Structure formats: structure tokens, C-alpha cells
Structure 1
Amino acid sequence: MSWSVGQVSGFAGVTVRTLHYYDRSGLLSPSERSPAGYRLYNAADLARLQQILFYRELGFPLDEIADILADPQATVLDHLLARRDALTEQITRLQKLVDVAERAIEVQRTGIELSPEERFEVFGDVVFDLSYAADAHLKWGEREGHQESMARAAAHTKEDWRQLMAEAAVWRRRLLAAFDEGRAADHPEVLDLAEEHRQHITRWFTPCPPEMHCRIADDYEADARAFALVVPPAEQRPGLAGYLRSAICANAERQSSTGGEVAR
């Protein structure tokens, strides 16, 4: 049985032009001809084509494939071992490029220009979820406050991050103590904690008026990834995110009633 160039092109997934090139180069010439003189491939030709496509998939150049097919028993193992080593080196290089790209993406999405080791040292259990950072960028990216926050975050040094995280840890312990002791979300001490949190955002990232603070708090309650930026999962309690949101929004009302910035 034999097949035309068009038929082989169709079921082998290569173009007619490629098959003609293989023929001209001597890599794969059809063994038969039709009565009208058209090229026809037999089963042995198709087996050779499968070998060619296999080596092409591994990245071998055509001249090296020709060498392998000329004397497969003598050369194929050496060629495959060499190709394996080359692919391993390429994978290593590409993985480094992937790491660089991931690092660039992380910086763009979080604004934090620290190495992974520095991040672990400074942030500990506080989780920065890139998927949330991406969603937040889509949601708030056009807002001036978000853009300023990202720019200021990118400008923070390792010592800046160490200081602001230390401040956040002290604040968090006081929040957890108030929650565990059963203080109401609108208790003056808890409202003061909410205000401290707002001022912390203003001091380190971007001016945070009360209505903006309430929008941030909405995310804390609605999205566990957002709340993990404030309280690590290991320290969270059921209802804590809603408790903090209630305190933040109650503080916004307090600011409005006392002549401060207008709440939402």
C-alpha cells in the first residue's frame, strides 16, 4: 500500500512543503511513483518519517537526524545522550528565566522588592497571595490611591518593611486581645485600634480616608486572601474579619460625627 504526498501531509501533521524539502535534501525520498509520476510513500517511508519527526520533536537539527538514520545502531545512543544533556541545560536556563519572570510579576503585583529570603525574614507567616494581588490590581489599579500605594511599597527598604511589620504585629496582638476578651466592635478601645490601622496605611502606603478604609475592610471580610495580609491564618479566629470590618466602619462614622473626614 502507498500514499500520496497530500495524504501523508494530512495524517502526519506536516506540510507538503516540508515533505518536498525532506525529499530534496535526501532525508526522506518517496520510494515509489504512481503511473502518472507522482511521489508515493510506502510503509517503510512512513516509519522513517516517524523517526524524523521524533528526533525533530527532541530538537535535533536535520543534518544530525540524517547521521542518526544513516547508522542508527552506531550513533543513536550517543546522540540521544548528548541531546539529553543539552535539554537539561536548556531546562535549567529556562527555569532561571521563569524565576526571573515570576519575581518581576511578584514585584509588579505586590510592589515589594525583596528577595524570597528577605520576605520570609521580614513577613514570617503573613501571606502575600499573588492571585489576590492580581485581582486587587484589576479592581483598584486605576485608582490613584492604589497606584501610590504600589509606588511607595516598591520604594520601601528592607528596614522600612521590618519596622512597619513590627508595628503591625504589635497592633495585631492588641486586636486579638480585644476580640478574645469580648470587647464590642464599637468599644472606644477597639475604635482606636481601627483608627491606628487607618493611620498605619496612610503612613506607609497611601492616604486612607475613612470611606476608603471601609472598602478595604469589606475585602477583609469577603476575601480570606485579603484578611491574611492583616492576620496570618494561624492567628485568625472565627468572626474576626467581620469584627474588624465592623470596628473600621464604626470608626469611620465616629470620624464623621466628630468633624473628621467624611465616611462613606
Structure 2
Amino acid sequence: MAMKVKELADLVGISVRTLHYYDEIGLLSPEEITDTGYRLYSNDNLEMLQQILFFRELGMPLKEIKQMISSSSFDKQVALLQHQKMLMEKRSQLDKLINTVEKSIKHMKGEIQMTNKEKFEGFDFSQNPYEQEARKRWGDEAVDESNAKVAGLSKDAQKAVSEIYTKLASIRTASPRSEEAQTAIKEWYDCLNNNFGTYSLDAFKGLGQMYVDDQRFTKNIDQYGEGLAAFMCEAMKHFADGNQK
């Protein structure tokens, strides 16, 4: 039985705006759009959405997901087996971290003694995916400058960032093109340029795209409100396009 977009969003636990965005970028289009404009999703759509969310859970960007699931060689069963393998590896790392926490508690109580090496079992800092992506997009110099500024960010600046996210979250159900949304997103643009280096309009637009392409960004931003990352992406795109000379 076909499902409307709100029914699917409620079933899965994601926002309607996210499903609309997936449709806009050609990642997941509904089986049918009625004459009255209702999006109808089939069982095949549901299975493909499950695949997409598995990939997202593993931190894969939307662009790469789209390339994979659009390939003629894409096999759902093979993909599920791969998901299983990667999730088991992820679970193994989490189990190690849980074990380290449990041992640390016993160590603090004086029940056991931990070696310094044991205190850090399960942690993996071999790479910083956020920084790697940023370096690829904007270059080493811009990221180094941003890192230096983040490290020295004042409490007032941190508060300002949080307040802007909170304000944007409160209006995320409105149109990203609305005057209210564009005023708020300009505050974010100014905040970035005042605290994190120089952002051109194109870089600002590209950053907004990263908010939805990279699940790690999406999760952090959506802590302020489900669907905020997608809302900011659209608002930042409209702001950048509207202010190009």
C-alpha cells in the first residue's frame, strides 16, 4: 500500500523536509505524485530508504550514496551484507569503549588497577573526517586558520553560535526563503566570517551542502531540532545565490 510523505516520515522517524530534499537531489523519488501533489511511496521506495539510512548511519555522504544505489551493479542483498559487516565492526569498537568505561569505574573505586594503555583502549583518532573533508574542499590554509580560531573561541562567541542555531531551529518549519529565515541565516554567515575565517558566498553555500551530505554534520546540527540541517542548507543556498553580484 502506498504511503504519503508524512506517513513515511512518521514511520521512519525523519522529517518531511528531509524526504523532500532526498527527492529534490534525485536520491529517493516517490513512486507517484498525484494530480493534487501528494507524494506516494511504494514498498520498493521503503526498501531503498532503508539502504540510504544504513549508509548514512555509517557516515557516508549523500553524493556517494546516490552514486552507489544508482549503479546498475547495485545489489541490495550484497549491500545489506556489507552493512552488517561494517556495523559489527562499529559494535566491536563500541564494546571496547564500554569495557574501558567499566574498567575505569572499577579503577576509580580502587577495585582494580589499570595501565595507562588500558585507559585508552577503544579510542580511534587515526583521522579527523571533518577536517579531511574541509581540507579537500577549501584547502589547508583555510582549515588551519579555522582550527586556530576555534581553539581560541571565546565563551561569548560560543554562546552566540548556540543562540543562532537555537533561533534557526525555532523557525525551521518556515520557508528557508522567507525574510525571517534569510535574516537569521545572515547572522550565521556573519558569525562564521567573524569567528572562523573568511567565507565567500560560494564557500558558505558549499558548507550548507555539507550539512546534509555528511551525516556527522547532520546529527550535530539536528540536535537543536530535527530537520535543521536540511533547512539551513536550503537557506544558505538561497542566501548565497541571492547575494551574488
- Give TM-score scaled by structure 2 length: 0.46
* Higher alpha-carbon Rg: 1
- Give TM-score scaled by structure 1 length: 0.43
Q: Which has the higher contact order (CA 8 A, sep 6+)?
A: 2
